[in-house]
């Protein structure tokens, strides 16, 4: 077990992290891709329409894959750090804060890039499942048959509201707008420009439940776009994970070192791990959140044929969002992310360091 201590500790931390943080991740994804009045409005609407299950939709794939991915991430990080330390390049030989931080950032960025290449298909499927019912309520028939499309830009100035759709379905008539679907989110059937290759339709019962398995989502993506379709948003995904993981590990290691004098000469304890983990989680998300948002917006359109998408890629999405919505658009949903970041990543490193400590003590 000692030889695989990093893998075992990282996978244990991953399971705890997914169970504790997935509802927050679901709310974050919904707020990134649809307009809500507030965080609480998103939570209330999700609970009213889908119940508690709505917050855990699509959790099984990440529960399995994140354990593997996090094990790979921590292993690549530790191995890369050892390799760079043993190199003859002077910046990695010093124990001062700046060179040490550079070493940790380079190792973390390498781990993030590797993980992104492996996890992109799973992340794409997760996003589709998190948004499944929300998209189906906009146009259930088009969503079920894979022909859902976007609203033309000229028509997108007329706001469509999710709340109004619920009211009309319940016979209550239209109500004041609650959730505006902006040009980024507006989706209606486009009969004048039908998809060239429709996805396999869901059964009528599946369309009513709008609950699709991870395998079914992956299959529809493959049928529509081939193997390449499972890697939609990869550029943004690699950029997010490389930058974010580099910041994540370097901030954790530097914070842990800066807090070490508080331990009175003893090895860093749980309080140090807790504070360093929470700090690195908040700081990394603050910096990479715009990349994560663009990735979610691109992956939201994954089931659309290429000729019906609003965005042609990462740079087109980035520039269009900034031009139409300004800088604030890139931080939509940041509140729920920061709300979960500190406790979630504090827990992550508490479990990771605790499991490592238990393994090492038993090995003695």
Q: How far apart are CA 143 and CA 37, in angstroms?
A: 25
What's the pLDDT band for 296 if we cut at 50, 70, 90? confident
DSSP state letters, 85-122: HHS--GGGT--SHHHHHHHHHHHHHHHHHHHHHHHHHH
pLDDT at 191: 37
Residue with tokens 């508690």: 52
Q: pLDDT digit string (tens) for 333-353?
A: 788 888 888 988 999 999 999
Q: How far apart are CA 325 and CA 117, in angstroms?
A: 30
Residue 128: which residues within 8 A CB-CB, separation 6 or more? 58, 217, 221, 299, 300, 302, 303
More confidently predicted of 205 and 275: 275
Task: Say whether pLDDT at 27 is over 90.
Answer: no
Q: Could you give the C-alpha distances from 124 to 130, 217, 298, in angstroms and in order?
A: 10, 9, 10
Reduced to 3 states (helix: H, G, I; strand: E, B; else coil), residue 203 is coil
pLDDT at 302: 77
Residue 195 near residue 146 (C-beta atoms within 8 A):
yes
Averaged pLDDT, 60-74: 84
Q: How far apart are CA 150 and CA 157, in angstroms?
A: 13
| Most confidently modeled range among 35-39, 252-256, 309-313, 329-333 | 252-256
The CATH class for the domain spanning 2-363 reads mainly alpha
First-last CA distance in the chain:
12
Which has the minimum average pLDDT: 16-30, 77-91, 158-172, 223-237? 158-172
What's the pLDDT band for 286 if we cut at 50, 70, 90? very high
More confidently predicted of 303 and 245: 245
Residue 297 near residue 349 (C-beta atoms within 8 A):
no
Residue with tokens 């190199």: 87
pLDDT at 51: 87
| Most confidently modeled range among 187-191, 309-313, 347-351 | 347-351
pLDDT at 91: 67
Which has the minimum average pLDDT: 78-87, 136-145, 256-265, 298-307? 136-145
Residue 148 token pair: 């859902």
What's the pLDDT band for 246 if we cut at 50, 70, 90? very high
Residue 241 token pair: 């994970």
Q: What backbone phi and psi angles, to 5 degrees, belong to 233?
A: 85, 15
Q: Which of 320, 343, 336 is nearest to 30 (CA)?
A: 336
Q: Which of 265, 272, 339, 315 is nearest to 43 (CA)?
A: 339
pLDDT at 133: 67
What is the crossing angle of helices 97-130 and 5-33, to 10°? Answer: 60
Delimit the domains of the chain by residue range: 2-363
What's the pLDDT band for 137 if we cut at 50, 70, 90? low
């Amino acid at each position: 077990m000692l030889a695989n201590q990093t893998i075992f500790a990282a996978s244990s931390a991953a399971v705890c992290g997914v169970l504790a943080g997935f509802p927050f991740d679901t709310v974050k994804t919904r707020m990134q891709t649809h307009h809500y009045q507030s965080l609480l409005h998103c939570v209330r609407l999700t609970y009213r329409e889908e119940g508690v299950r709505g917050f855990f939709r699509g959790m099984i794939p990440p529960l399995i894959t994140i354990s593997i991915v996090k094990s790979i991430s921590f292993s690549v990080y530790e191995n890369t750090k050892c390799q760079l330390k043993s190199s003859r390049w002077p910046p990695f030989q010093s124990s001062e804060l700046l060179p040490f931080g550079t070493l940790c950032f380079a190792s973390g960025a390498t781990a993030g890039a590797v993980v992104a290449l492996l996890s992109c298909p799973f992340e794409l499927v997760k996003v589709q499942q998190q948004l499944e019912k929300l998209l189906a309520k906009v146009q259930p028939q088009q969503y079920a048959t894979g022909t859902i499309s976007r609203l033309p830009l000229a028509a997108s100035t007329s706001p469509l509201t999710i709340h109004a759709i619920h009211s009309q379905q319940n016979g209550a008539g239209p109500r004041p707008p609650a959730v505006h679907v902006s040009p980024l989110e507006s989706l209606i059937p486009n009969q004048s420009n039908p998809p060239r290759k429709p996805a396999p339709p869901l059964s009528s019962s599946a369309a009513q439940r709008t609950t699709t398995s991870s395998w079914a989502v992956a299959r529809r993506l493959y049928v529509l776009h081939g193997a390449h379709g499972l890697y939609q948003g990869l550029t943004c995904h690699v950029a997010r994970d490389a930058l974010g993981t580099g910041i994540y590990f370097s901030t954790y290691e530097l914070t842990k070192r800066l807090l070490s004098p508080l331990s009175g000469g003893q090895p860093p304890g749980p309080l140090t791990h807790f504070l360093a983990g929470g700090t690195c989680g908040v700081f990394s998300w603050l910096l990479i959140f715009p990349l994560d948002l663009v990735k979610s917006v691109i992956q939201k359109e994954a089931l659309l044929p290429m000729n019906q998408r609003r965005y042609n890629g990462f740079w087109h999405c980035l520039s269009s969002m900034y031009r139409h919505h300004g800088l604030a658009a890139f931080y939509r949903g940041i509140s729920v992310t920061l709300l979960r970041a500190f406790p979630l990543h504090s827990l992550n490193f508490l479990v990771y360091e605790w499991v490592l400590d238990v393994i090492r003590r038993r090995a003695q």
